[in-house]
Structure 1
Amino acid sequence: MSQTLKPLTAAQKLGVHLPATPEEFQRAELTRNEVEQLKADPPPWLVELRRNGPFPRDVVAQKLGISRAGLARNGITESLDAEQIGVLLADPPPWLLKERRTYAATIEEHERAKDHRLHR
């Protein structure tokens, strides 16, 4: 018997915001194989969500080039869609520019520490 995933876990694995999915998806427990099948051959609703959102916060952070904590620090607590993200990217507010610098510095420091550990 294949392990089933709760709807939230399945949505996370698919990179979509659960409340934006169809009602039947929100109620279903899917197997890992079913989730893999959705990834391989996504139905129209999944293609649309992946293209236009609304996106989960981790995807929003990734698209903006900042951390999830950076979103929270700046009051972004809801999911955003592609249009909203596009507006932020087209004319980045000061907080977004600052968060991008902070995130880039953090990633750089993690890489430096990783390299240091590897070369010891």
Structure 2
Amino acid sequence: MRSGTGDEDQATAEERAALEAEFNPEDEELCHAATKIQASFRGHMARKQAPKPGKTDDELSKEMGKLDAKGEELDDELADIDLTDPELNKAATKIQASFRGHKVRKDVGPNDKDEEKGNE
């Protein structure tokens, strides 16, 4: 049962008439835009309500325990490394140099290389 009064019904009818006068329901572009908006909102609501795939708390706890054990093993291995070893220093320098080269090549990009060839 509606709890509205006659004045509210009349105001709603007036608002509806004003909207119908402003927006032509036969306007294809307007209808297409409204359909797009409705579809995107429905998709948003469906994604929001869908259960998120994941693991249970027990599975996560087990995995965390495994990772903690692996972390302790890695800590023990790292403690055994001699940081003053010159071979280790060479290897670290090589890794850093290759990464810096990769970074520069990434920053330059393919467009800049074409420009350099044209200038030569």
Please classify the TM superposition score into its range, dividing by the shorter chain length.
0.3 to 0.5
Q: What TM-score does the superposition give when structure 1 sets the normalisation length?
A: 0.37
Q: What TM-score does the superposition give when structure 2 sets the normalisation length?
A: 0.37
Higher helix share: 2
Larger Rg: 2
Larger relative contact order (Cα-Cα within 8 Å, sequence gap ≥ 6)? 1
